[in-house]
């Protein structure tokens, strides 16, 4: 919609998106951008990434034409080819691999879902007949969402649209990440108190003093990787002190007695030393949560980036349930979608009914309803041929060489594939490994929608505002062409915008009508269980999972100590947080962002710096049992002693492809491994890894000095 020369759209592809924007365009260039004061979630807010987002579009090195590799993998020798030739090569290679080895041998890989392209890719995989859609959901949302579905029948999302007495930011740095498209403006506004109302109280569970931790009523300084233990200690206090919602527990839960018995020994005194939090602080935190009504837990990546993510997510959902915070306004709710096409129908799940049995991870006994292949298990299929060999990958919106755990293993796996096609905006370390590289159009350059499939009860319009450069095409358009080339044409469209219309059809809107409205929201409906019960086998919240034995998973959240076998050579604990200026490994090539965040740094406490002989600003090595990288030390009291909070996602576009952008030098995932991924989700440990640091002079570690 256009008003006084300003075009209304929503931000996207710089995170999950969510801010309503006003942009001014001159001669196919965005010349001004600002937050829309009427935005549903942002109320005028816009972050540095959003402001810099138009700078991506005109970068001189942006990919503009399809390329074919002519040198060795990673050598950077390319030949420009036409779109017809590129589509033709991909079609021929994928069809011949399907013919010789079956559809399972072809994987379709997606990074963080950025818009509708994610679902079009799943649709293509389904129609092609491959059950293997590889995605990072194992470390991002699936643990929360699927644990929720099994425990209470829905994904319990923090409701920041209604007043809460208390919000807990549990491993979620909302002011920097606007995690999952939950723009932090709503929370910031809710915290304010004035003559008419008292503001929402805030608790933060984080090893780092984040911006919200500075404002918090209680900050629990947790040792990374131990969130499940803290959750269990909260349950212990709330149950032992009788602070739970008895009516709700009696009427709407099963397994309360077994849970009570299970957590009886898991006292704050026992969990305190493991989590690094004083037992009295744990008691205070648990009481604060139990006594606030309603209270919401805004849970972030830190809950799910460990093999114990099932235990952590389960413990938190049990907390939400016994304190009466499930599906109440201002609590954790099951959002209701507007009238739009369901995901299952959009992706044509009906065409591949046996997918759950054929997916790579079915073999590893992961939890039912996990429909994307965890990267750790995908790589095992490529390298060890377990449960079968995968030979080709179509990769879009992803940079696995940086974003998947164990980067060296990722390089080995990509090198072993017979064929790789990559769609991106730029030659990344991953695109450098491809046989064919496709130039993608990006945000602002095509009509798209945000928040579809996120489970937040609304979708946001992202109408196009400029034409893409060169021969760039949106991923939706690319996949539509590939679909027509490789699979029956009846499943595809003349115009890729018809994907958007198909999603909107049940609402009666066209994309133009939707863009005019800006967003489409489902009705606010709470306590839906009162009518039909919870959508679980027992119709109640399953504190003790009734089907756990069938899944081969524990029925109650387990107190596994991740540091049981302490490693004296690696006395510190490594974790990370996302950089407010970048999206994962993306956009290091955008000068406006690089000026704000020019290089990777790891944060350490002054005491730790002293113990290890490290000064602020020095280049240090960070080492785990699995690898070694270098980053600059930032000595700060914001991070707990004994912790290293390192930067993640770094490669150096300016170094050039000849040295593969020095992709290993500062890359956090050189330090992670995939050896014992979690059973439920196939998740490796990204947060809470034993490590050590060494200064430039090779200073001895505290442990050895
Ligand atoms: N150690 C560690 N690892 C992590 C995490 C962590 O916290 N620590 N976080 C994890 C999480 S939560 C996630 S979601 C994943 C993210 O994993 P990825 O999604 O693989 O991460 P990105 O590095 O952002 O890669 C996205 C790529 O998409 C490209 N791109 C941007 N827009 C478009 C577009 O419109 N079309 C196409 N074709 N390409 C586009 C970008 O240029 C970039 O190269 O990483 C996970 N990995
Ligand atoms: N700027 C920016 N925004 C993003 C992204 C990005 O890359 N950059 N990525 C987007 C994506 S895909 C996602 S999934 C979200 C994720 O957004 P968040 O969930 O906010 O993710 P992180 O920044 O990885 O971690 C959040 C917080 O957890 C803390 N933390 C680290 N280890 C632990 C631990 O073991 N326990 C606890 N309790 N806390 C710990 C960190 O210090 C940090 O403050 O952000 C989205 N938004
Ligand atoms: S917070 Fe996210 S949606 Fe909002 S402007 Fe920044 S990148 Fe865009
Ligand atoms: Mo993510």
Question: Which residues place a Cβ less than 5 A from the ion ligand 4?
Answer: 112, 140
Helix 142-152 and helix 309-322, axial crossing angle in degrees, nearest 10: 50
Ligand 2 pocket, residues with Cβ under 6 angstroms: 15-16, 112, 140, 170-173, 176-179, 205-208, 210, 222, 224-225, 227, 300-302, 575, 577-580, 582-584, 645, 687-688
141 Cα nearest atom in ligand 1: 12
Q: Which of 521, 540, 562 is the last residue of a domain?
A: 521
303 lines ligand 1 (CB under 6 A): no
Is the domain of 471 the same as that of 351? Answer: yes
Instruction: Give the integer Cα–Cα distance in Å for 502 and 511.
Output: 9
Kindly tell me if the per-residue pLDDT of 703 is higher than 50: no
The residues pairing with 643 across neighbouring beta strands, listed in sequence order, are: 573
Kindly tell me if the per-residue pLDDT of 407 is higher than 70: yes
What average pLDDT score do residues 478-506 get?
Answer: 98
Is the domain of 34 the same as that of 173? Answer: no
What average pLDDT score do residues 330-351 get?
Answer: 98
CB contact at 8 A, 118 and 453? yes
Q: The tokens of 520 are what? A: 């489409």
**Residue where the block lists tokens 């027509």:** 484
- Long-range CB pairs of 366-370 (<8 Å, 24+ gap) are 366/679, 366/680, 366/681, 366/682, 367/146, 367/150, 367/310, 367/551, 367/553, 367/680, 367/681, 368/150, 368/551, 369/146, 369/149, 369/150, 370/137, 370/138, 370/142, 370/146, 370/680, 370/681, 370/682
Residue 679 lies in a domain: yes
Is the domain of 90 the same as that of 161? Answer: no
180 lines ligand 3 (CB under 6 A): no
Residue 275 lies in a domain: yes
Is the domain of 166 the same as that of 134? Answer: no
623 lines ligand 1 (CB under 6 A): no
Residue 416 lies in a domain: yes
Looking at residue 567, what is its pLDDT? 85
What average pLDDT score do residues 115-131 get?
Answer: 98
Kindly tell me if the per-residue pLDDT of 492 is higher than 70: yes
**Nearest bound ligand to the CA of residue 110:** 1
Question: What DSSP character marks residue 184?
Answer: T
Kindly tell me if the per-residue pLDDT of 702 is higher than 60: no
Residue 656 lies in a domain: yes
Across the chain, what does the average pLDDT equal?
96
Is the domain of 198 the same as that of 282? Answer: yes
> Tell me, what CATH number does 17's domain have?
2.20.25.90
672 lines ligand 1 (CB under 6 A): yes
Looking at residue 565, what is its pLDDT? 76
Q: Which of 316, 334, 352 is the last residue of a domain?
A: 334
Q: The tokens of 316 are what? A: 């938190």
74 Cα–ligand 2 center, Å: 30
What average pLDDT score do residues 581-592 get?
Answer: 97
Residue 534 lies in a domain: no
Looking at residue 74, what is its pLDDT? 84
592 Cα–ligand 2 center, Å: 22
DSSP track, 676-702: S--TTT-----SSEEEEEE-TT-PPPT
> Tell me, what CATH number does 637's domain have?
2.40.40.20
Residues 256-290 pLDDT 10s: 999 999 999 999 999 999 999 999 999 999 999 99
Question: What DSSP character marks residue 54?
Answer: G
The length of the chain is: 705
CB contact at 8 A, 133 and 125? yes
Residues 54-70 pLDDT 10s: 999 999 999 999 999 99
Is the domain of 43 the same as that of 71? Answer: no
> Tell me, what CATH number does 507's domain have?
3.40.50.740
pLDDT bucket at 196, cuts 50 / 70 / 90: low
Please name the helix (run of DSSP H) or strand (run of DSSP E) that holds residue 233, with its range, or none: helix 227-240
Is the domain of 278 the same as that of 357? Answer: no
453 Cα–ligand 3 center, Å: 18
Kindly tell me if the per-residue pLDDT of 701 is higher than 60: no
Instruction: Give the integer Cα–Cα distance in Å for 423 and 446.
Output: 16
Kindly tell me if the per-residue pLDDT of 47 is higher than 50: yes
**Nearest bound ligand to the CA of residue 136:** 1
Q: pTM of whole model > 0.75?
A: yes
Is the domain of 237 the same as that of 311? Answer: yes
Q: Which residue has the higher pLDDT, 289 or 75?
A: 289
Q: Whose CA is nearest to atom 2 of ligand 1?
A: 686
CB contact at 8 A, 341 and 118? no
85 Cα–ligand 2 center, Å: 41
Residue 554 lies in a domain: no
Instruction: Give the integer Cα–Cα distance in Å for 421 and 434.
Output: 5
Residue 542 lies in a domain: no
| Coil/strand/helix, residue 195 | coil
**Nearest bound ligand to the CA of residue 582:** 2
- Overall domain count for the chain: 4
> Tell me, what CATH number does 261's domain have?
3.40.228.10
Residues 222-238 pLDDT 10s: 999 999 999 999 999 99
**Nearest bound ligand to the CA of residue 578:** 2
Question: What DSSP character marks residue 71?
Answer: S
399 Cα–ligand 4 center, Å: 13
Looking at residue 1, what is its pLDDT? 61
DSSP track, 306-375: STTHHHHHHHHHHHHHHTT-BTSTTSEE-PPP-S---HHHHTTGGG-TTHHHHSGGGGGT--TT--SB-H
Q: Whose CA is nearest to atom 33 of ligand 1?
A: 397
> What share of the chain has pLDDT > 70, as a percent?
98
669 Cα nearest atom in ligand 1: 1
686 Cα nearest atom in ligand 1: 1
Give residues with Cβ within 8 angstroms of 613, minimum separation 6: 695, 697, 699, 700
Q: Whose CA is nearest to atom 16 of ligand 2?
A: 179
Is the domain of 381 the same as that of 499? Answer: yes
Give the structural domain span for 689.
Answer: 572-694
Residues 156-172 pLDDT 10s: 999 999 999 999 999 99
What average pLDDT score do residues 281-301 get?
Answer: 98
Q: Which of 41, 42, 45, 47 to mutate to test the pocket of ligand 3 (most atoms within 8 A of CB)?
A: 47
Question: What DSSP character marks residue 464?
Answer: -
Instruction: Give the integer Cα–Cα distance in Å for 268 and 278.
Output: 8
Q: Which of 276, 302, 334 is the last residue of a domain?
A: 334
251 Cα–ligand 4 center, Å: 36
Kindly tell me if the per-residue pLDDT of 704 is higher than 50: no
φ/ψ of residue 520, rounded to 5:
-130, 125
DSSP track, 254-291: E-HHHHHHHHTT--HHHHHHHHT--HHHHHHHHHHHHH
Is the domain of 590 the same as that of 604? Answer: yes
Residue 150 lies in a domain: no
Q: Whose CA is nearest to atom 8 of ligand 3?
A: 50
Is the domain of 280 the same as that of 167? Answer: yes
DSSP track, 505-567: GGGT--HHHHHHH-EEE------THHHH--SSTTSSEESS-TTHHHHTS-SS-----TTSS--
Kindly tell me if the per-residue pLDDT of 430 is higher than 70: yes
What average pLDDT score do residues 553-562 get?
Answer: 96
Kindly tell me if the per-residue pLDDT of 135 is higher than 70: yes
Instruction: Give the integer Cα–Cα distance in Å for 444 and 448.
Output: 9
Please return the burial class of 538, using the count of CB atoms within 10 Å of its CB with bins 0-12, 13-18 and 19+: middle
CB contact at 8 A, 424 and 452? no
41 Cα–ligand 3 center, Å: 11
**Nearest bound ligand to the CA of residue 135:** 1
Helix 83-101 and helix 475-486, axial crossing angle in degrees, nearest 10: 50
Is the domain of 358 the same as that of 322? Answer: no
Give residues with Cβ within 8 angstroms of 505, minimum separation 6: 341
Give residues with Cβ within 8 angstroms of 328, minimum separation 6: 294, 526, 527
Q: b/e for 652-688, b at 16 or more Cβ within 10 A?
A: bbeeebeebbbbbbbbbbbbbbbeebbbbbbbbbbbb
φ/ψ of residue 323, rounded to 5:
-95, 10
581 lines ligand 3 (CB under 6 A): no
């Amino acid at each position: 919609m256009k008003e006084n020369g300003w075009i209304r759209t929503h931000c996207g592809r710089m995170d999950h998106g969510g801010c309503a924007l006003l942009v001014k365009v001159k001669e196919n260039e965005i010349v001004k951008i600002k937050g829309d004061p009427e935005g549903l979630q942002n109320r005028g807010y816009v972050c540095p990434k959003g402001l810099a987002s138009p700078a991506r579009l005109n970068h001189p090195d942006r990919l503009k034409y399809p390329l074919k590799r002519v040198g060795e993998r990673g050598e950077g020798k390319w030949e420009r080819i036409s779109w017809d030739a590129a589509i033709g090569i991909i079609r021929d290679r994928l069809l011949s691999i399907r013919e010789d080895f079956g559809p399972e041998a072809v994987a379709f890989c997606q990074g963080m879902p950025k818009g509708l392209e994610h679902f079009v890719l799943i649709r293509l995989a389904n129609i092609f007949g491959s059950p293997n859609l590889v995605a990072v959901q194992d470390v991002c949302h699936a643990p929360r969402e699927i644990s929720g579905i099994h425990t209470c029948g829905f994904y319990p999302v923090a409701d920041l649209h209604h007043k809460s007495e208390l919000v807990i930011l549990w491993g979620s740095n909302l002011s920097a990440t606007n995690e999952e498209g939950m723009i932090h403006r709503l929370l910031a506004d809710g915290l304010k108190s004035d003559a008419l109302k008292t503001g929402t109280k805030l608790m933060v569970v984080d090893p780092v003093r984040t911006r919200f931790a500075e404002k918090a009523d209680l900050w629990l300084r947790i040792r990374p990787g131990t969130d499940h233990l803290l959750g269990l200690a909260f349950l212990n206090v709330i149950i032992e002190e009788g602070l739970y919602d008895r009516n709700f527990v009696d009427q709407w839960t099963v397994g309360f007695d077994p849970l009570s018995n299970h957590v009886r020994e898991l006292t704050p005194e026992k969990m305190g030393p493991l989590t690094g939090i004083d037992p009295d602080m744990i008691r205070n935190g648990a009481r604060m949560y139990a006594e606030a009504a309603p209270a919401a837990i805004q849970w972030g990546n830190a809950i799910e980036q460990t093999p114990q993510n099932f235990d952590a997510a389960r413990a938190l959902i049990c907390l939400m349930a016994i304190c009466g915070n499930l599906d109440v306004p201002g609590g954790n709710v099951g959002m209701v979608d507007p009238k739009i096409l369901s995901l299952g129908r959009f992706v044509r799940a009906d065409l591949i009914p046996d997918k759950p049995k054929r997916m790579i991870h079915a073999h590893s006994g992961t939890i039912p309803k996990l429909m994307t292949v965890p990267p750790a298990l995908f790589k095992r299929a490529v390298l060890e041929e377990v449960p079968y060999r995968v030979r080709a990958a179509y990769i879009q919106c992803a940079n696995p060489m940086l974003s998947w755990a164990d980067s060296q293993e990722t390089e080995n796996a990509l090198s072993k594939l017979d064929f790789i096609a990559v769609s991106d905006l730029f030659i990344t370390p991953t695109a450098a490994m491809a046989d064919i590289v496709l130039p993608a159009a990006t945000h602002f350059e095509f009509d798209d929608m945000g928040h579809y499939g996120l489970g937040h009860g609304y979708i946001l319009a992202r109408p196009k505002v400029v034409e893409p450069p060169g021969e760039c095409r949106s991923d939706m358009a690319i996949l539509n062409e590939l679909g027509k080339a490789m699979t029956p044409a009846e499943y595809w469209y003349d115009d890729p915008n018809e994907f958007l219309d198909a999603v909107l059809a049940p609402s009666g809107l066209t994309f133009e009508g939707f863009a005019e409205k800006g967003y489409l929201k489902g009705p606010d409906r709470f306590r839906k269980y009162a009518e039909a019960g919870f959508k679980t086998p027992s119709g109640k919240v399953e504190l003790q999972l009734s089907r756990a034995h069938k899944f081969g998973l524990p029925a109650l959240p387990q107190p596994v100590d991740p540091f049981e076998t302490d490693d004296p050579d690696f006395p510190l604990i490594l974790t990370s947080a996302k950089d407010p200026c970048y999206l994962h490994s993306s956009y290091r090539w955008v000068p406006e962002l690089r000026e704000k965040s020019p290089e990777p740094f790891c944060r350490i406490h002054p005491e730790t710096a002293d113990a290890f002989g490290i000064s602020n600003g020095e280049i240090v090595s960070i080492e785990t049992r699995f690898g070694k990288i270098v980053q600059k030390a930032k000595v700060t009291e914001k991070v707990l002693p004994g912790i290293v909070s390192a930067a993640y996602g770094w490669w150096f576009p300016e170094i050039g492809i000849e040295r593969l952008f020095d992709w290993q030098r500062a890359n956090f995932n050189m330090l992670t491994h995939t050896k014992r991924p979690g059973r439920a989700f196939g998740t490796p440990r990204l947060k809470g890894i034993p490590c050590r640091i060494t200064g430039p002079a090779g200073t001895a570690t505290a442990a050895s000095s």
